[in-house]
A and B are shown apart, each in its own frame.
Chain A
Amino acid sequence: MSSTTLIAGLVTGLLLGGLFAICALGLSLVFGIMRLVNVVHGELLVLAAYLNFTLGRWAGIDPLLSLLILVPIMFGFGFLIQKTILNPLMNKGDEAPLLTAFGLSIIAQNLFLLIWKADTRSLNTEYTGLGLPVAGIQIPLMYLLEFVIAIVLILLVHLFMRKTFLGKAMRAAALDADTARVMGINPKFVYAFTYGMGSAVAALGGTLIAMTFSFVPTTGLVWLLNGFVVVVLGGLGSVFGTLGAGFLLGAAEGLGGAIFGTGYRELVGYIIFLIVLIMRPSGLFGRSNG
């Protein structure tokens, strides 16, 4: 295989890593603030894709524009889920919320199947298939878009967490919920808000997935595991770590795919994940959780 193929794989992979980061961000936030392993995150991505698809069929708007409606809807939806279903379980150990999310994921997948059937779908516009030739490599426009969006999004979230009262309250509640309560911060509200945020970001991620690739009711699992890899690589509680890990994983998968064949792309990711997890359970960039 030629060096061009390798470089192409590396570069396109790196850009695609932006999408990985976006899709992992929701997982990272929820895990970082609430230590909740949100195994239904994949289905949130796919839900957004389906909703956008349906919206597109009714109203014919551009999927990115639909986000203006979709993001608030998904935020509210996530907020409700946390508030009603998951909040009561937050102090019953780590397994109860995780297994409940697992149950939600099964319900979601099958609801998708029921409502939208098993057909493969995608969100296509005039530009989703375009590519830009750069130095002999064909770079898909969507990849480039995702790269840029990822950076902007992560910066925005970072600023939110650092500068706003609510963002700081979120970080405080994550560090020490009891002390935060004494200071007037309502942890339950913070958790619901965080989950809402994660879902809102998932709206973006799911839409982009649908525009870049295709999806079926079960697509969520792959992106969930992908998200896990990114979060663990990037470290708990670090949004910049999520960004960096997204790019890293994308590049690794791109390279791996070029060398071993596209079928093995994700495998490369999983193997890296397992190796890192075993050597440093707190990720490459994150703080150790003792």
Chain B
Amino acid sequence: MMLRLENVSKSFGAVAAISDVSFAVQKGEVLGIMGPNGAGKTTLFNLIMGEFPVDRGTIHFDDKPIHGLSSHEIAAMGLGRTYQIPQPYRGMTVVENLMVGDMFGGKHASLSRARRRAYEILDRVGLADNAEKLAGSLGLLDLKRLELAKALAMNPRLLLLDEIAGGLVENEVVVLRDILDDLKKEGVTMLVIEHVMGILFGLSDRIVVLNFGQLIAQGTAKEVMEEPQVIEAYLGTAHAAEDRDGRPASGPSVAAAMPAASAGSGAPSSAAGTAEEAASAALKGAASSGAPDGSAASAAFDAPTPGTARPAASAAPAVSAQPLLEVVSVTAGYDKFIALFDVSLEIYEGEITGLIGVNGAGKTSLIRAITKGIPLMGGAVRYKGIDLATVEAHKLAELGISQSIEGRKIFPELTVLENLELGAYNKRARQRRKQTLREVFDLFPILEEKKNQLGTLLSGGQQQMLAIGRALMSLPDFLILDEVSLGLAPVVIDQLYKAIVEINRRGTTILLVEQSIQRCLDTVHRAYVIEHGRIVLSGSAEELKNNEEFKKAYFGV
């Protein structure tokens, strides 16, 4: 056994991040780790690498106990890991980045030997030309390559890869896939966390599935995909299990890790009976490699979700000539990483507009571009005709733009009431705040009940309501809701969506950002689909539901 975990548990305060997880990895095996956002995958890696100690259980590497050792000792034993967000040594050159690992973990004491070996590895991952550049100047794909190279410099017998393909476009993913295939052929044992199913299923010999910190399935890709618990975790089609409201806000997104860029299905499924069967067929199809064909997946998509009542969207209001918000050819990003390419969209007053895309497609970046969280590299954002480049970030609330941020971001150390009142900070809202508060309490009665409780004591769903309520307190004309269903049980999401429809009915224009297509398209009037930083599709909800191209675009290649 290369790696063996037995009954590992870890809690942070009241939150059980990992509960009683046991599995083993053979030498030369590739074990895939999947699970919705927040399931505990990265925490698992952190535990293995000794970033923090386990509360209970044991971890053995090569039959030697490593739980309780410090990180550098574990690393020196031959474990290399990559981080989801690359962690290069920015002030050092690319070569030097590798030399550190080689000298301290890979057992090359002399600088020249380490340098030589570093060059070999760089050649392998395709970074040889950038060897003398400062790591801080690299683009995303190169940073990912560097991340992998740094792990390889450790001369690892076990490689821990955390979403190494995340954020990359198709041809970049192919490059990475080739490198990993080669490594596998050489017999490197790997643990791979991935959302990009093509890599996950294509590379892994076996898969373990985590959800809420527990291991819910183990086996080959096919076996795992037939487990009802796995299907439920991913598609959320079953009715809500026990109320998980005690969970932290970062719980798994119910429909979150819809197979993104799946390898495609093989034979189309037989006529879908229940939605579960259809979904399972879709996922199975995705699990086996084959020609990309979204048909089976779309079967799952079309089947109506049983058991959950959907709020019917109100009829689309008459479209006024001038959009309320215009995003015009916006290009934006962070540092070296461009997140949005020439993005344009229009939001019309009185409508609910949807923005759909998978993890990392650029939804939050687009929101940030609109709300001046990131600078624009090109294009403009116009609100009520005003170019927002001329407005300071904190003045947006005054103009009527409000937002429920991804991850809720309420102030946990203030009470519900304090959070809400602070929402009415701008002058317009402050005068009317008693009345607005009444309206918010009407929408979300539970908030009135808990008005003097601290934010931390609320459940995930209640925190989300608070976040929306707080956004409403600023009397917005335009409300942005960023992934409000993240980590919540379906029943709670239903409540939220009812409220969202009501808010819109009362006159507020809404931009609804979602990963879950079903919910979104059932609620919005129109929607845009974003992928890898570009708008790939747009249209009314009806149009999109019937659009073959859309289904293909969404399930991708």
* A and B, direct touch (CB closer than 8 Å): yes
Please give the residue numbers on chain A whose beta carbons come within 8 Å of chain B beta carbons, in ascending order: 165, 168-169, 171-172, 175-176, 178-187
* B422 and A172 contact, CB distance less than 8 A: yes
* A185 and B430 contact, CB distance less than 8 A: no
* A187 and B430 contact, CB distance less than 8 A: no
Please tell me if B349 contacts chain A, counting CB pairs below 8 Å: no
Please tell me if B21 contacts chain A, counting CB pairs below 8 Å: no
| Bound-state Cα–Cα, A181 to B401, Å | 12
* A175 and B411 contact, CB distance less than 8 A: yes
Which B residues touch A185, using CB under 8 A?
394, 422, 425
Of the listed residues B396, B412, B422, the one surrounded by the most CB atoms of chain A closer than 10 A to its CB is B422
Please tell me if B509 contacts chain A, counting CB pairs below 8 Å: no
* A183 and B423 contact, CB distance less than 8 A: yes
Partner of A184, one of B414, B421, B425: B425
Shortest Cβ-Cβ A-B pairs, 3 listed: A184-B397, A184-B426, A186-B394
Which B residues touch A165, using CB under 8 A?
421-422, 425, 430
Which B residues touch A179, using CB under 8 A?
405, 409, 411
Please tell me if B63 contacts chain A, counting CB pairs below 8 Å: no
Residues of B372-430 at the interface with A, using a CB-CB cut-off of 8 Å, are 373, 392-398, 402-403, 405, 409, 411-414, 418, 421-423, 425-426, 430
Which A residues touch B474, using CB under 8 A?
183-184
* A182 and B422 contact, CB distance less than 8 A: no
| Bound-state Cα–Cα, A186 to B397, Å | 11
Nearest chain A CB to B12 CB, angstrom units: 10
Please tell me if B371 contacts chain A, counting CB pairs below 8 Å: yes
| Bound-state Cα–Cα, A176 to B419, Å | 12
| Bound-state Cα–Cα, A169 to B405, Å | 18
* B414 and A171 contact, CB distance less than 8 A: yes
Please tell me if B10 contacts chain A, counting CB pairs below 8 Å: no
Of the listed residues B397, B425, B470, the one surrounded by the most CB atoms of chain A closer than 10 A to its CB is B425
| Bound-state Cα–Cα, A263 to B394, Å | 52
| Bound-state Cα–Cα, A169 to B421, Å | 10
Which A residues touch B392, using CB under 8 A?
186
Nearest chain A CB to B75 CB, angstrom units: 24
Please give the residue numbers on chain B whose beta carbons come within 8 Å of chain A beta carbons, in ascending order: 371, 373, 392-398, 402-403, 405, 409, 411-414, 418, 421-423, 425-426, 430, 470, 474
B408 nearest in chain A by CB position: A179
* A182 and B397 contact, CB distance less than 8 A: yes
Nearest chain B CB to A82 CB, angstrom units: 17
Contacts A165-B425, A169-B422, A172-B422; A182 near B396 (Cβ below 8 A)? yes
Nearest chain A CB to B447 CB, angstrom units: 17
19 contacts between A and B (CB under 8 A): A165-B430, A168-B414, A168-B422, A171-B414, A172-B411, A175-B411, A175-B412, A175-B414, A176-B409, A178-B409, A179-B405, A179-B411, A181-B394, A182-B393, A183-B402, A184-B396, A185-B394, A185-B425, A187-B394
Which B residues touch A169, using CB under 8 A?
422, 425
Which A residues touch B414, using CB under 8 A?
168, 171-172, 175
Which B residues touch A186, using CB under 8 A?
392, 394
B418 nearest in chain A by CB position: A168
Contacts A165-B425, A168-B418, A183-B474; A176 near B411 (Cβ below 8 A)? yes
Which B residues touch A176, using CB under 8 A?
409, 411
Which B residues touch A184, using CB under 8 A?
394-398, 425-426, 474
B368 nearest in chain A by CB position: A178
Known: A182-B405, A186-B394. 7 other contacts (CB 8 A): A175-B414, A183-B423, A183-B425, A183-B470, A184-B474, A185-B425, A186-B392
| Bound-state Cα–Cα, A70 to B203, Å | 71
Which A residues touch B403, using CB under 8 A?
182
Which A residues touch B373, using CB under 8 A?
178
Partner of A183, one of B397, B412, B413, B418: B397
* A183 and B393 contact, CB distance less than 8 A: no
| Bound-state Cα–Cα, A222 to B121, Å | 55
Which A residues touch B426, using CB under 8 A?
184
B423 nearest in chain A by CB position: A183
| Bound-state Cα–Cα, A180 to B397, Å | 10
Nearest chain A CB to B90 CB, angstrom units: 13
Of the listed residues A172, A179, A180, A187, the one surrounded by the most CB atoms of chain B closer than 10 A to its CB is A179
Nearest chain B CB to A48 CB, angstrom units: 32
Nearest chain A CB to B46 CB, angstrom units: 15
Which B residues touch A172, using CB under 8 A?
411, 414, 422
Nearest chain A CB to B485 CB, angstrom units: 20
Nearest chain B CB to A196 CB, angstrom units: 18
| Bound-state Cα–Cα, A186 to B421, Å | 16
Nearest chain A CB to B250 CB, angstrom units: 15
| Bound-state Cα–Cα, A168 to B394, Å | 16
Which B residues touch A182, using CB under 8 A?
371, 393, 396-397, 402-403, 405
Nearest chain B CB to A142 CB, angstrom units: 37
Which A residues touch B371, using CB under 8 A?
182
B426 nearest in chain A by CB position: A184
| Bound-state Cα–Cα, A149 to B33, Å | 61
| Bound-state Cα–Cα, A165 to B373, Å | 24
Nearest chain A CB to B419 CB, angstrom units: 9
B409 nearest in chain A by CB position: A179
| Bound-state Cα–Cα, A168 to B395, Å | 18
Nearest chain B CB to A176 CB, angstrom units: 6
| Bound-state Cα–Cα, A265 to B456, Å | 42
B421 nearest in chain A by CB position: A168
| Bound-state Cα–Cα, A172 to B426, Å | 14
Nearest chain B CB to A126 CB, angstrom units: 47
| Bound-state Cα–Cα, A182 to B371, Å | 8
| Bound-state Cα–Cα, A181 to B430, Å | 16
Nearest chain B CB to A287 CB, angstrom units: 8
Which A residues touch B411, using CB under 8 A?
171-172, 175-176, 179
Nearest chain A CB to B21 CB, angstrom units: 24
B410 nearest in chain A by CB position: A179
Nearest chain A CB to B431 CB, angstrom units: 12
| Bound-state Cα–Cα, A171 to B418, Å | 11
Which B residues touch A168, using CB under 8 A?
414, 418, 421-422
Which B residues touch A183, using CB under 8 A?
397, 402, 422-423, 425, 470, 474
Which B residues touch A181, using CB under 8 A?
393-394
A189 nearest in chain B by CB position: B394
| Bound-state Cα–Cα, A172 to B418, Å | 10
| Bound-state Cα–Cα, A172 to B394, Å | 13
Which A residues touch B422, using CB under 8 A?
165, 168-169, 172, 183, 185
| Bound-state Cα–Cα, A185 to B423, Å | 9
B467 nearest in chain A by CB position: A179
| Bound-state Cα–Cα, A175 to B418, Å | 14
* B405 and A175 contact, CB distance less than 8 A: no
Nearest chain B CB to A160 CB, angstrom units: 14
Which B residues touch A171, using CB under 8 A?
411, 413-414
| Bound-state Cα–Cα, A109 to B149, Å | 52
Which A residues touch B425, using CB under 8 A?
165, 169, 183-185
| Bound-state Cα–Cα, A165 to B431, Å | 13
Of the listed residues A165, A171, A182, the one surrounded by the most CB atoms of chain B closer than 10 A to its CB is A182
| Bound-state Cα–Cα, A179 to B394, Å | 10
| Bound-state Cα–Cα, A186 to B412, Å | 20
A162 nearest in chain B by CB position: B418
| Bound-state Cα–Cα, A180 to B402, Å | 11
| Bound-state Cα–Cα, A178 to B397, Å | 13
Which A residues touch B398, using CB under 8 A?
184
Nearest chain A CB to B338 CB, angstrom units: 21
